[in-house]
Chains A and B, each alone.
Chain A
Amino acid sequence: MMTAKTSMLIDNPESKDATAKDNYQVNDFVVRFANTNGTGSASANNMFAKAILRMGIPVCAKNIFPSNIQGMPTWYEVRISEKNYLGRRGGKSEMVVAMNAQSIEEDIQSVKSGGYVLYDSSKHLSDNLHRDDIHYLGMPISSICLKEYTDPRQRQLFKNVIYVGALAALLSMDFTLLKGLVRDQFKGKEKLITPNIYALELGYQYANEHFICPLAIKVEARDLVNNRILVDGNTASGLGAVYGGATVVGWYPITPSTSVIEKFASYCHRLRIDPASGKKNYAIVQAEDELAAIGVAIGAGWNGARAFTATSGPGVSLMTEFLGLAYFTEIPMVLVNVQRAGPSTGMPTRTQQSDILSCAYASHGDTKQILLFPDSPTECFEMGAEAFDIADLCQTPVIIMSDLDLGMNDHLTDEFQWQDDKAYQRGKLLDKEQLDELKEFGRYLDVDGDGICYRTLPGTHSEKGAYFNRGTSRDNYARYTEKPKHYVENVDRLTQKFVTALNYLPKPAIVQGKKSAKVALIYYGTTSHPITEAIDELSSHGISVDTLRIRAFPFHDEITQFIEKHQDVFVIEQNRDGQMKTLLVNELQVDPKQLTSIINYDGLPMTSYQVVQGVLSRFSDKEAAKQTKKKAG
């Protein structure tokens, strides 16, 4: 048994040495919170991250949680990085707040040598949890709560706030600012402010009295956040749909997409109530399953409302028949796919980018779907709105390919912006007057030769424009036909339509020097998060790289040109099979040998280390091959 005494840093000579060196690690470390889910730790942990943000220091937070409501281990990893390295760093953490007895053994192992573990010393820590190379900060949090509070729920909840208070002292956070944050957070619930601040102070005082503060890791206020905000992608997607004019939603709850709709609903509740009547300018149906959810969106899209649904892998599987119908009957709608680890139920609370192929060609027959790949909550917001224009312009579903990491974790991202003069683009939609002037209407007549035809809505005109929308093969006037000529004409026009679609899709984001580098990285969505750090790391190895971030499918020509310009192209993604690489090879005239996959599919966000190792190992392989060749020669 370790005694409480030795766990206190102030009595620990080793740590005195550490601080005496005055060699602080400032604004560059990881704090990992180990909690039990359902204990209210999430809001306290979030408060910690936000306080760092308000000190002007870039921060990224990852929630690593189970598919469970109460009682299982959950982690919250906060990376503080002055250099704006906002991907998951990976490896061990400088500090662990170990609040879960279930996982404490593993948690103590996850502390970096020389690092700290803050734990609840109300009970003795067993000897086998002792490591010589880390510092133990024992704080009797449960005992404090037992003494201070009578309500069992409060005793539980304030534990979390108390350790945040202690961290403020230990890491030299701005305590006044932290208290201000509490006031902001509980605005409107004033009763909660005083007890929360009191709990913060309990922790803060205890740490100051018992530990040498600050530790060798600490934060210092900077001005590096600028106009950025800390928000999750699902909130942004939901808000984007409000801005994009979505009025009809059909959905079925599924992790990790649920909060897209919940946020859409809560923003609608604030922003979409008709001021005169108090009635809703929107309608949401929680459907019986994903089949119905997308059916609702398609029915509404056919009838001219901007409609969407959100789901994840298993839901996408169920929706594919309907996606084929919408592709073939050319109905606009938006689907937000917040990807998780598959196949099957897979790991519902872990992240992956593994629906690329199943979405690109969703449904039976020759099909193709438009995909958008946001890499940040800012893009979730922008694409979340823009997707409705694209769907209307192209008269086809648009799938926004988010993922659990992007959707459910808070990311530091550029603030949301909107141009009021940007009008919704409804595409080739005929109103009564236009129909009056029209000589002849055929729903699938390619009047403009761009593969996109004119559509009409039910109820528009008493004589013209009605057609029978059907999943069966049809002629230009929407009449059933199985004549080879009509069928081929129709599906060829759809091919043409997806070429036209490129005009409306966001182009890839390319960064290259005046003189092209030999090495290039292609990535998309959340694999862009570790890239800044990876580029710096690679450059320290003498490797300079050009980069291309894919933002949409079908692919623009720029992607082919970019690949052709580079000798070694790495496609970085989060699935086992290198699905984007497959899609690139399948769609573009590129030599598969030119592309090398760097993949991560363990369900956790990719780290820069993985990217760097992927690149380096390719070169060491090449070098080895050269050597072998030489020897053989």
Chain B
Amino acid sequence: MSYVKSAFKHPRLPVNDLGLTYRDYEGALSTLCAGCGHDALTSAIIQACHELSIEPHKVAKLSGIGCSSKAPNYFLNKAHGFNSVHGRMPSVATGANMANQDLLYLAMSGDGDSASIGFGQFAHVVRRQLNMVYMVANNGVYGLTKGQLAATADKGVKNKAGDLSLFTDIDLCVMALQLGASFVARSFSGDKKQLVPLIKAAMSHKGFAFIDIISPCVTFNNHNGSTRSYDYVHDHITTAAVTDFVPVKTEITSRSDSGESEDVCLHDGSIMRIQKLSENYDSSNASKAIIDIEQHKAKGEILTGLFYLEATASEFHEINNTCDTPLNKLDQDALCPGKRVLPGINKSFR
């Protein structure tokens, strides 16, 4: 592990539409364990942002507490970040988004942060249809406090210390589907080919986009018997559909020739290309997706991919009918009713 990030940039690094290289999207050096799934996730986020030519400073990074929530420090150092309190990132994200709808809100959370201490906040931010990307780095274990079982750990598995997971596990994708998220997907931090297009699509989607990312903990949950170890995930992962992301400006030259393919146009004009692998798959049916996830789980498989997408969903500000100018940019003239109306108000109290 190195302690200093090299400032050297290769002169011929590819640049995007903004003239920025991959390095311009990086953050501080990761302090996570070598081999941590979260670092692969960080790198997928960087790749997605770079390839989509996102202006780094137009992003707001949000997180709670835990290993996952440290991650925003490791990407987009030109973006503001807010590392809030444990389980409470969703409310902070809500307030931040209410204040300025013009930024891209990228949130990182973990299984403890979202499925335990912040389960209530998670549920309600989904309900609110906040326009944001909510990613959970899910490893089924508490990393920073050294290996306690998380609520997403499968019932019946043992942690490294040998403690049995006694209670029903929580599937955050199922929760998000049930609570009305308009974009729900699951992926694996070790599968960039699947993950990067999903992150890109989530960022292009208008509305609440949730991605549960299986992100193995090399230190505390990579043992035999774990259902979140690299080996186990590799052996049991399956997908319902292969998704690809086609950005706005790319000319669509050919359609996928194998299997049934469907293009869904996202809010910003880019396209989510979905290649179905099973006949039953239907990205517009949330209840079907829940059944699908549960059926695979019953077989011991981890179903990944895009589960649900409602490209024309409304987001918070449309529902609220907020003015087009971000609230944090309204000046005193727009905000303060002034002296003029006070006589009438005073009169109503006489």
1/0 per residue, CB under 8 A from B, across A227-261: the answer is: 10111000000010011010110100000000000
Would B342 and A295 count as touching, CB distance under 8 A? no
Across the interface, do B85 and A459 meet the contact criterion of CB distance under 8 Å? no
Query: Among the interface residues B61, B77, B335, which one has the most CB atoms of the partner chain A within 10 A?
Result: B335
A228 to B195, CA, bound (A): 65
Given contact pairs A231-B349, A243-B336, A423-B332, A248 touches B78 in the complex (Cβ within 8 A): no
Whether A299 contacts B93 in the complex (CB less than 8 A), given A279-B323, A280-B323, comes out as yes
Chain B residues, Cβ within 8 Å of A307: 95, 99
Contact B95 A53 (CB under 8 A): no
* A433 contacts chain B at the CB level, 8 A cutoff: no
Nearest A-chain residue to B65, judged by Cβ: A471
Smallest CB separation, B250 vs chain A (Å): 25
- Contact in complex: A300, B103 (CB < 8 Å): no
Whether the Cβ atoms of B78 and A463 lie closer than 8 Å is yes
> At the interface, yes or no: B298 with Cβ under 8 Å from chain A?
no
Residues of chain B lying within 8 A (CB to CB) of residue A298: 84, 92, 95
B6 close to chain A: CB less than 8 A = no
Chain A residues in 8 Å Cβ range of B92: 295-296, 298-299, 302
A366 to B55, CA, bound (A): 39
Contact with B along A268-302 (1 / 0, CB 8 A): 00011010011111110101110111111111111
Q: Does B225 contact A (CB under 8 A)?
A: no
C-alpha spacing A182/B264, complex, angstroms: 60
Q: Which of B43-51, B120-128, B156-164 is found at the contact surface with chain A?
A: B120-128
Measured CA separation A245–B338 after assembly (Å): 11
Any A CB within 8 A of the CB of B94: yes
Contact A468 B81 (CB under 8 A): yes
Complex interface bits, B166-209 against A, C-beta within 8 A gives 1, otherwise 0:
00000000000000000000000000000000000000000000
Q: How far is the CA of A322 from the CA of B65 in the complex (A)?
A: 13
How would residues 316 to 350 of chain B score, 1 for a CB under 8 Å from any chain A CB and 0 otherwise?
A: 11001111100110101011111101100110011
- Nearest residue, chain A, Cβ from B320: A283
Q: Which of B80, B121, B328, B337 is the one whose CB lies under 8 Å from A456?
A: B80
Residue numbers in B under 8 Å from A206 (CB-CB): none
B290 near A: Cβ within 8 Å?
A: no
A242 and B334 alpha carbons, distance in the complex (Å): 11
Complex contact B100–A239 (CB within 8 A):
no
A471 vs B87: C-alpha distance in the bound complex, in angstroms?
Answer: 13
Residues of B within 8 A of A466 (CB): 57, 77-81
Decide if B95 touches A297 in the complex (CB within 8 Å): yes
> How distant is the Cα of A299 from the Cα of B56 in the complex, in angstroms?
19
A230 touches B349 (CB 8 A): yes
Report which A residues bind B (CB closer than 8 A): 50, 53-54, 227, 229-231, 239, 242-243, 245, 247-248, 250, 271-272, 274, 277-283, 285, 287-289, 291-307, 321-322, 325, 415-420, 423-424, 456-463, 466-472, 479-480
Given A302-B96, A303-B60, A458 and B334 contact (CB-CB distance below 8 Å): no
Residues from chain A with Cβ under 8 Å of B320 in the complex: 280, 283
Instruction: Determine if A279 and B99 form an interchain contact, defined as CB atoms under 8 angstroms apart.
Output: no
A468, B328: Cβ atoms closer than 8 Å: no
Choice from B28, B95, B121 contacting A291 with Cβ under 8 Å: B121
Asked if B328 and A230 sit within 8 Å, CB to CB, the answer is no
Determine the chain B residues whose CB is within 8 A of the CB of A415 once the complex forms: 342, 346, 349
Residues of the A chain whose Cβ atoms lie less than 8 Å from the Cβ of B55: 462
Q: B317: which A residues are within 8 A, CB to CB? A: 283
Q: Which residues of B contact A467 (CB under 8 A)?
A: 80-81
**10 interchain residue pairs of minimum CB distance:** A295-B91, A299-B95, A305-B99, A229-B349, A299-B92, A458-B80, A300-B95, A304-B328, A296-B95, A292-B91
On whether A279 and B78 interact (CB within 8 A), knowing A285-B94, A295-B92, A307-B95, the answer reads no
Q: State the CA gap A479–B74 with chains docked (Å).
A: 12
B88 near A292 with CB under 8 A, answer: yes
The reply to whether the CB of B36 lies closer than 8 angstroms to some CB of chain A is no
Residues in chain B near residue A458, CB distance under 8 A = 57, 59-60, 79-80, 96, 100, 103
Option from A231, A277, A292, A294 in Cβ contact (under 8 Å) with B124? A292
Could you tell me if A469 and B82 are in contact, using CB atoms closer than 8 angstroms?
yes
User: Does B226 interact with chain A (Cβ within 8 Å)?
Assistant: no
B residues less than 8 Å from A305 (CB atoms): 95, 98-100, 327-328
- Per a CB cutoff under 8 Å, which of A248, A281, A460 touches B95? A248
Q: Is the CB of A321 within 8 A of B85?
A: yes
Given A303-B60, A466-B77, A471-B85: A285 and B128 interface contact (C-beta under 8 Å): yes
B103 touches A469 (CB 8 A): no
Q: Does B73 contact A (CB under 8 A)?
A: yes
Contact of B90 with A by CB under 8 A:
yes
Measured CB to CB, the closest approach of chain A to B346, in angstroms, equals 4
User: Which B residues are in CB contact (< 8 Å) with A468?
Assistant: 61, 72-73, 80-83
Shortest A404–chain B CB gap in Å is 19
**Contact yes or no, A418 B338, CB < 8 A:** yes
Across the interface, do B78 and A300 meet the contact criterion of CB distance under 8 Å?
Answer: no
Q: Are B345 and A296 in contact (CB under 8 A)?
A: no
Q: Give the residues in chain A near B120, CB-CB below 8 Å.
A: 288-289, 292
Q: Which of A292, A304, A418 contacts B90 (CB 8 A)?
A: A292
The reply to whether the CB of B58 lies closer than 8 angstroms to some CB of chain A is yes
- A606–B98 Cα distance when bound, in Å, is 41
Is B102 part of the contact surface with A, judged by Cβ < 8 Å?
yes
Inter-chain contacts of A231 with B (CB < 8 A): 349
Contact for B321 among A53, A279, A302, CB less than 8 A: A279
Contact check, A416 vs B98: say whether CB atoms are below 8 A apart: no
C-alpha gap A347/B62 in the complex (Å): 39
Residue pairs across A and B with Cβ atoms less than 8 A apart, 11 shown, are A50-B350, A283-B316, A296-B91, A299-B94, A301-B95, A415-B342, A418-B342, A458-B96, A467-B80, A468-B80, A469-B80
A480 and B65 CA atoms in complex are apart in Å by 14
Q: Contact between B100 and A287 (Cβ–Cβ < 8 Å)? A: no
List A contacts of B84 (CB < 8 A): 295, 298-299, 325, 471
Minimum Cβ distance to chain A for residue B349 (Å): 4
In the complex, chain B residues whose CB is within 8 Å of the CB of A469? 80-83
Q: How far is the CB of A169 from chain B (nearest CB, A)?
A: 23
Once the chains are docked, how many angstroms separate the CA of A458 from the CA of B76?
12
Q: Which residue of chain B has its CB nearest to the CB of A232? A: B349
Are A288 and B80 touching (Cβ within 8 A)? no
Known A303-B328, A458-B96; 14 more pairs at CB < 8 Å: A248-B98, A280-B322, A283-B317, A295-B84, A296-B92, A303-B60, A303-B96, A303-B100, A322-B88, A418-B336, A458-B100, A466-B79, A468-B83, A471-B84
Q: Given the known A-B contacts A279-B321, A283-B327, A287-B124, are A250 and B95 also in contact in the complex, defined by CB atoms under 8 Å?
A: yes
Q: Are A303 and B95 in contact (CB under 8 A)?
A: yes
> Shortest beta-carbon distance, B76 to chain A, in Å?
8
Minimal beta-carbon separation of B78 from chain A (angstroms) = 5
Q: A229-B349, A458-B100, A471-B85 are in contact. Are A292 and B94 (CB under 8 A)?
A: yes
Pair B327/A281 contact, Cβ less than 8 Å: yes
Interface centre among B62, B95, B98, B124 (most CB of A within 10 A): B95
B168 CB to closest chain A CB (Å) equals 22
Within 8 Å CB of A271, what residues of B?
A: 337, 341
Q: Are B324 and A279 in contact (CB under 8 A)?
A: yes
A420-B338 in contact given A248-B99, A280-B320 (Cβ < 8 Å): yes
Residue among B61, B96, B100, B317 with the highest chain A CB neighbour number at 10 A: B96
A629–B6 Cα gap in the complex (Å)?
82
Q: Mark B29-55, 1 if CB is under 8 A from A, else 0.
A: 000000000000000000000000001
A369 to chain B, nearest CB (A): 16
Query: Closest chain B residue to A249 by CB distance?
Result: B98
